[in-house]
Amino acid sequence: MASGAEKQTDRMEKIVSLCKRRGFIFQSSEIYGGLNGAWDYGPLGAELKRNVKEHWWRSMTQLRDDIVGLDGAILMNRAVWKASGHEETFNDPMVDCKECKGRFRADQVESTPCPRKPSRSVKECEHEKTEPRAFNLMFRTHAGAIETDDSLVYLRPETAQAIFVQFKNILDTSRQKLPFGIAQIGKAFRNEINPRNFTFRSREFEQMELEYFCRAEDGLRLTDEWLENRLKWYESVGIPRSKIHILDVPEDKLAHYSKKTYDLEYEFPFGIQELEGVAYRTDFDLGTHQKHSGKSLEYFDEETKQRFVPHVVEPSAGVDRTVLALLCESYDEEEVADDKGNKETRVVLRFKPSVAPIKAAIFPLLKNKPELVAKAKEITSALRQEFRVFYDDSGAIGRRYRRQDEVGTPFCITVDFETLEGDKATGAKDTVTIRERDSMTQRRVPITELSSFIASALK
Ligand code: ATP
């Protein structure tokens, strides 16, 4: 019998294979052998990822009036990274194996497989390793035609710094009062020593970061509030609290500027790993940029007439890790009977309708009946104005259902003869069947009610 760990590895392999087979996630530059740590989101993956980002953006900037958005540049003045401490300290400890020349994160040798013999870890390999040394994770490039030290720029390793350095401009133009937040979604780059676990640890990824500025006395309370808030958000996209482990980072492990940090960790098939960090970063970030830039980043409180550098609470989440958690959470297999009563395994992604890449698939019962095809296409065109829908007329209806189950489409709408000739029970024309993904039950609905039916499921 397969052990728990084997089952989980097996599950992960199935998820990775489904992602490729159905167009969620591909290896970057695959036809040239790929590029380690870089991934492309295919047609369905791109939709899923957009839905995750839109949910986050809406929950932050639309549903609250105390948070505004920013879309900052990836390239920034190098001085930003000097001031933030990234140039000096954004390092991971690295060791080299003197035999195979492989490079590994010194703090992960126990969990990193040996490239020569993957069944054992790098730690178990008998060959000599170098002493650990610091490896800076920032990608370097040059702005302009001359490659000198002066033209050196980095691809940002986090989105947050643009928020800190634009704090004053945003404060002046949005006229927010403390406490208030600035939210941003965007690409970040880290030259990870060992990218692994599919998209979990990539070299190019996306972050959803909020910097919530406040008074010093509110920092700890707001950190707890944001933790709660973020757990609710994960629940709203389909990751239950019971699957999220909250790590209250012990004091001796906190970054020197942080007074409190919670790591939200998800039970991935490859282990319990970080999805998001919620950190109370005090006034370190604004304080350090004020010092290095010589520009005031203070807030003026009109009531108390006090001027001070605000503190900040940062919930920082990974888009790719959230997408991966959603894929892992929603992947399911169940035994069902096919059209002829034979048992088969149904693979289903049980996405919440609001994050599902396709909201409804529309089928004519038979492909060779022009009246059915025309009606199904007419419904598709109408629904397309409001939702991401998909028309499919190839293969037996059962196979079409299975294909949609596998990509998580919550509803399949079938146009059949009763649509044209009238419902057997009531005689009403222009009704279709809606088959629900999870229960596989079907019911007849008037075409005129389809849009409101789908819309109510997305709430
Ligand atoms: P880890 O300890 O896993 O390297 P971290 O603590 O360095 O993560 P942060 O700097 O707090 O991560 O970044 C915030 C979020 O950005 C993480 O919680 C994660 O969701 C995401 N993230 C960070 N690094 C990566 C990466 N290499 N690939 C994908 N997502 C990442």
Instruction: Kindly list the domain boundaries of the chain, sorted by start residue.
Output: 4-76+157-327, 358-457
Cβ atoms 271, 291 nearer than 8 A: no
Q: Which CATH architecture has domain 358-457?
A: 3-Layer(aba) Sandwich (3.40)
**Atom 13 (ligand 1): residue with closest C-alpha?**
316
CA-nearest of 377, 385, 378, 334 to 359 is 385
CA-nearest of 27, 45, 57 to 203 is 27
**Atom 16 (ligand 1): residue with closest C-alpha?**
318
| CA 396 to centroid of ligand 1, rounded, Å | 44
pLDDT computed for residue 2 by the predictor: 66
| CA 277 to centroid of ligand 1, rounded, Å | 8
Question: Is the CB of 318 within 6 Å of ligand 1?
Answer: yes
| CA 187 to centroid of ligand 1, rounded, Å | 12
* Per-residue pLDDT band at 1 (split at 50, 70, 90): low
CA-nearest of 242, 243, 260 to 251 is 260
> What number does the ligand 1 atom closest to the CA of 319 have?
20
**Atom 21 (ligand 1): residue with closest C-alpha?**
318
CA-nearest of 44, 40, 18, 20 to 331 is 18
| CA 291 to centroid of ligand 1, rounded, Å | 27
**Amino acid identity of 413?**
I
* pLDDT per position as a tens digit, 100-150: 999 999 999 998 989 899 889 999 999 999 999 999 999 999 999 999 999
Question: Is the CB of 51 within 6 Å of ligand 1?
Answer: no
Q: Looking at the predicted structure, is the pLDDT value of residue 55 above 70?
A: yes
Question: Is the CB of 190 within 6 Å of ligand 1?
Answer: yes
Query: How would you class 307 by CB atoms within 10 Å of its CB: exposed for 0-12, middle for 13-18, buried for 19 or more?
Result: exposed
User: Per this entry, what is the length of the chain?
Assistant: 459
Domains 4-76+157-327 and 358-457 belong to one CATH topology: no
Q: Which two tokens stand for residue 109?
A: 């040798």
**Atom 22 (ligand 1): residue with closest C-alpha?**
318
Question: Is the CB of 359 within 6 Å of ligand 1?
Answer: no
Question: Is the CB of 317 within 6 Å of ligand 1?
Answer: yes
Query: How would you class 182 by CB atoms within 10 Å of its CB: exposed for 0-12, middle for 13-18, buried for 19 or more?
Result: buried
**Amino acid identity of 170?**
I
* pLDDT per position as a tens digit, 42-53: 999 999 999 999
Question: Is the CB of 230 within 6 Å of ligand 1?
Answer: no
Q: Which two tokens stand for residue 216?
A: 């010093």
| CA 8 to centroid of ligand 1, rounded, Å | 22
* Cα Rg, the chain, nearest whole Å: 26
CA-nearest of 80, 90, 75, 257 to 165 is 80
Q: Which two tokens stand for residue 410?
A: 């919550």
Q: How far apart are CA 197 and CA 453, in angstroms?
A: 38
**pTM for this structure?**
0.95
Question: Is the CB of 316 within 6 Å of ligand 1?
Answer: yes
Question: Is the CB of 276 within 6 Å of ligand 1?
Answer: yes
Mean pLDDT of 208-221: 98
Question: Is the CB of 275 within 6 Å of ligand 1?
Answer: yes
Q: How far apart are CA 401 and CA 419, in angstroms?
A: 19
> What number does the ligand 1 atom closest to the CA of 206 have?
30
Question: Is the CB of 92 within 6 Å of ligand 1?
Answer: no
Mean pLDDT of 247-276: 96
CATH class held by domain 4-76+157-327: alpha beta
> What number does the ligand 1 atom closest to the CA of 203 have?
27
Q: Which two tokens stand for residue 343?
A: 């048992």
> Which region holds residue 195: left if phi is over 0, alpha if psi is between -120 and 50, else beta?
beta
The three-state secondary structure class of 445 is strand
pLDDT computed for residue 381 by the predictor: 98
| CA 90 to centroid of ligand 1, rounded, Å | 12
Cβ atoms 313, 324 nearer than 8 A: no
Q: Looking at the predicted structure, is the pLDDT value of residue 327 above 80?
A: yes
* pLDDT per position as a tens digit, 152-168: 999 999 999 999 999 99
